[in-house]
Structure 1
Amino acid sequence: MFDKLQAQPADKILALMKAFREDPRTDKIDLGVGVYKNAEGVTPVMRAVKAAEYRLWQEQDSKAYVGLVGDPAFSDAMIALILGDAVPRANVGAAATPGGTGAVRQAFELIRMANPQARVFVSDPTWPNHLSILKYLGIETVAYRYFDSETRGVDFAGMIEDLGKAKAGDVVLLHGCCHNPTGANLNNVEWQAVIDLMNERALIPMIDIAYQGFGDGLDADAIATRMVASNVPECLIAASCSKNFGIYRERTGLLMAVSQDASQRGLNQDTLAFLNRQNYSFPPDHGARLVTMILNDDALRADWATELEQVRLSMLGLRQALADELQRLSGSDRFAFIAQHRGMFSRLGTSPEMVEKLRANYGIYMVGDSRMNIAGLNATTVPILAKAIIDAGI
């Protein structure tokens, strides 16, 4: 049997991480892996998470299963965080998943179950794992224009034109905030236009929201998701706690199925439970328990929100510092988009050859499509990166 297996394409980001580790240069800079790092290059455990873990260690008296869709209190807390009062809780089915990736995978499984003919429209570019999972599941994908490599902003006209070719029942995959890998986001007027188009053409939105709190703030980053959920007949929302709670290795996510018809919730909820059972039975609970404790405790929540805001402002400061240094060195404002982007990532909009030049000549590692992790920088490395970008001729 095993001799029939075929080698699979290497994950480009994992390969980049390996190359970085093996590079002997001491002045190398890692802007590839999508993990938040502080100024010391460490992914810290947030204070509220440590406090919740200590409390959990003291109080927890069982490690028994909690249920196929996880603890309902986790779903309640996350739905309130993401959707606020945009949609009645009674209209939302939800299931805990192993990370945001698990939520994305379960959403795609639900789409295939509900409508095997559905195509999924994905932004060009998008998070590579979206495409990998869709291909593995045999779901047809259609790219829609999103990133304008000239302006480094959103090609909104191209996006609308391409989505106008979707058919009733097709799914539109959208990034709720902090678009990965570009950092370029729609404004609220553009979001409303996308919502109107989806309603006109009977399209189903699926939102991947993995960076709430990393862009313009917890509530501001949820505005688009709330607009969609409250203005379409039904939608799917895949959420991750890895970034904004800093619990990457705990694999904590949530999938929501939202319907304006409250009578649909029971079937949606049962379907999410069924899908969990087929895939991994019971989802992990440790990270979800910590998130629930933090969101439901006033003191822990306030401390978490304060630290998250510090993280957000730190990344905005790094963006502005890099844009300013590039303007000083280049004498132009062609890199101003870096300060305008939001979240952990920006896409320089340069060629793979230039990205390789940065790696080979300057020890700067970023994904081949020129996506760079802003959180991989600090005050010392910002001027080094800026000089390398200009010297490389980007």
Structure 2
Amino acid sequence: MFENVQTAPADPILGLTELFKADPNPEKINLSVGVYQDATGKTPVLETVKEAEKRILEQENSKGYLPMTGEPAYCAEVQKLLFGEGHEIITSKRAATAQCPGGTGALRVAGDYLNIVHPGAKIWLSNPTWANHNTIFEAAGVECKQYAYRDAATNGLDFDAMCASIKTIPAGDVILLHGCCHNPTGIDPTPEQWAIIGDLLAAQGVTPLVDFAYHGLADGLEQDRLGLLELVKKVKQMFICSSFSKNFGLYRERTGALTLVADNAEQAGTVMSQVKLRIRYNYSNPPSHGGQIVATVLSDPELKAKWIEEVADIRNRINEMRHLFVKTLKDKGVTQDFSTIIEQRGMFSFSGLTKDQVDRLREEFSIYIVGSGRINVAGMTPDNMDRLCDAIKAVL
């Protein structure tokens, strides 16, 4: 069976991580994979997470399976974080949530649902988008199309082109929107633009799927959901794939959720019954530990307040690195304008570096950046900034 199997191509991001690990240079810098690092270059465990784990360890009395849709207390907290406590969507029970193995797992469940229940529907992805979006939905059998997003000339949002693209999407198709901290560009619509997007989708009969992987890392937990809240004013049906990898630091715990919003509670239950079938033949039940952590923290007012402070610390460090990066390049005499990086939000930005420049950074300076020029700002530290900017100056 295995004699003629060909070696699969390396993942464009995770493959770089393998190269980084094998690099013997003690001053190597990894700006590729989307993992938060503190000022010392470590990925920390949040204090609130450690406290929640202590409580869970003391109280846990079973390792039995969770329901297919996960722990109800976790799903309830997910909805409150997305919409705000007491929101009409929650009180009317128009939303249904399934706990999933990370945001990636939620996306795959959504893809399987679309392929089986709505086999003609295509999904429209921003140009550019996270590289794994295409592979997830193609693997699920869903055809992927593109809509305009980034203005290469300004390194900002080309909103007019985006709206023109949306107007061409057929009714019954799905559009994937990044809730905040667009990956890979760091460019987000304003709340006013989100409202316009919602009007266009409602007029077109297009269903949004919001990928909400970086909630809290742009401007704050309340501010980062403003786009989603504008959408739900305009569009009654949608999917939301959320993740706690970044804002809780639960990368290896694979803690995410798929939330659907329907016209009414009965419809939400019907659609969730189909989602549960997709879960059953995929992984049957979600892992428990990460969901227990999130539910423990978010249901305890004191722990939740502390967690909000920890998220703010993460967000502030990333934004400080954006400013320091732009300032350091300017101080070193780099004339190319990188100022748009200050305006972008989240862990990622488009640097504008070419593939040849990215290759030189890796080969000559042991600095690892994705071929598109996307950089993980969270991989920058005060200690590695001088070396990073000297190397970029050298390859420009």
* TM-score of the aligned structures, taking structure 1 as reference length: 0.96
SS at match of 2:145: strand
- How far 1:4 moved relative to its partner? 6.4
Map of 2:215 onto structure 1: 212
Does 2:79 align with 1:79? yes
Does 2:309 align with 1:306? yes
- How far 1:138 moved relative to its partner? 2.4
Which stretch shifts more, 132-141 or 248-257? 132-141
1:73 and 1:4, CA in 2 relative to 1: closer, same or farther beyond 3 A?
farther
Does 2:89 align with 1:88? yes
SS at match of 2:219: coil
Does the 8 Å CA contact 1:69/1:95 hold for their aligned counterparts?
Answer: yes
In the TM superposition, 1:12-27 aligns within 5 A as: 12-27=12-27
Map of 2:56 onto structure 1: 56
Does the 8 Å CA contact 1:86/1:227 hold for their aligned counterparts?
Answer: no
Q: Deviations over 1:179-223 (max 9, x none)?
A: 111111111122122111111110010000000111101111111
- How far 1:380 moved relative to its partner? 1.6
- How far 1:333 moved relative to its partner? 7.4
The aligned amino acid for 1:9 is: P
Distance 1:199 1:4 in 2: 50
Q: Deviations over 1:326-355 (max 9, x none)?
A: 233346571111111100011112211111
Does 2:190 align with 1:187? yes
Map of 1:177 onto structure 2: 180
Does 2:202 align with 1:199? yes
In the TM superposition, 1:216-365 aligns within 5 A as: 216-330=219-333, 332=335, 334-365=337-368
- How far 1:48 moved relative to its partner? 0.6
Which stretch shifts more, 257-266 or 53-62? 257-266
The aligned amino acid for 1:242 is: S
The aligned amino acid for 1:12 is: P
Does the 8 Å CA contact 1:86/1:229 hold for their aligned counterparts?
Answer: no
2:108 equivalent among 100, 105, 109 = 105
SS at match of 1:48: helix
Which stretch shifts more, 236-245 or 261-270? 261-270
Distance 1:289 1:219 in 2: 23
Structure 2 residues without counterparts, runs of 5 or longer? none
Distance 2:142 2:104 in 1: 17
Does the 8 Å CA contact 1:86/1:226 hold for their aligned counterparts?
Answer: no
- How far 1:300 moved relative to its partner? 1.1
The aligned amino acid for 2:209 is: M
SS at match of 1:12: coil
Map of 2:29 onto structure 1: 29
Distance 2:63 2:233 in 1: 37
Distance 1:139 1:217 in 2: 33
SS at match of 1:361: helix
Distance 2:55 2:315 in 1: 27
Distance 1:86 1:145 in 2: 32
Does the 8 Å CA contact 1:175/1:208 hold for their aligned counterparts?
Answer: yes
SS at match of 2:13: helix
Distance 2:142 2:334 in 1: 47
1:4 and 1:118, CA in 2 relative to 1: closer, same or farther beyond 3 A?
farther
Does the 8 Å CA contact 1:160/1:194 hold for their aligned counterparts?
Answer: yes
The total of aligned residue pairs comes to 393
Does the 8 Å CA contact 1:94/1:272 hold for their aligned counterparts?
Answer: no
1:91 and 1:203, CA in 2 relative to 1: closer, same or farther beyond 3 A?
same
Distance 1:333 1:5 in 2: 46
1:160 equivalent among 136, 149, 163 = 163
CA RMSD of aligned residues (A): 1.5
Distance 1:333 1:8 in 2: 38
Distance 2:141 2:115 in 1: 9
1:164 and 1:280, CA in 2 relative to 1: closer, same or farther beyond 3 A?
same
- How far 1:266 moved relative to its partner? 1.4
Structure 1 residues without counterparts, runs of 5 or longer? none
The aligned amino acid for 2:89 is: P
SS at match of 1:40: coil
Q: Deviations over 1:274-324 (max 9, x none)?
A: 221111111111100110000001111111111111111011111111112
Does the 8 Å CA contact 2:197/2:231 hold for their aligned counterparts?
Answer: no
1:379 equivalent among 374, 377, 382 = 382
The aligned amino acid for 1:203 is: V
Distance 2:198 2:234 in 1: 7
Distance 2:242 2:318 in 1: 21
The aligned amino acid for 2:53 is: E
- How far 1:391 moved relative to its partner? 2.3
The aligned amino acid for 1:101 is: T
In the TM superposition, 1:107-126 aligns within 5 A as: 107-126=110-129
Distance 1:350 1:30 in 2: 15
Does 2:366 align with 1:366? no
Distance 2:107 2:88 in 1: 21
1:360 and 1:5, CA in 2 relative to 1: closer, same or farther beyond 3 A?
closer
Which stretch shifts more, 383-392 or 181-190? 383-392
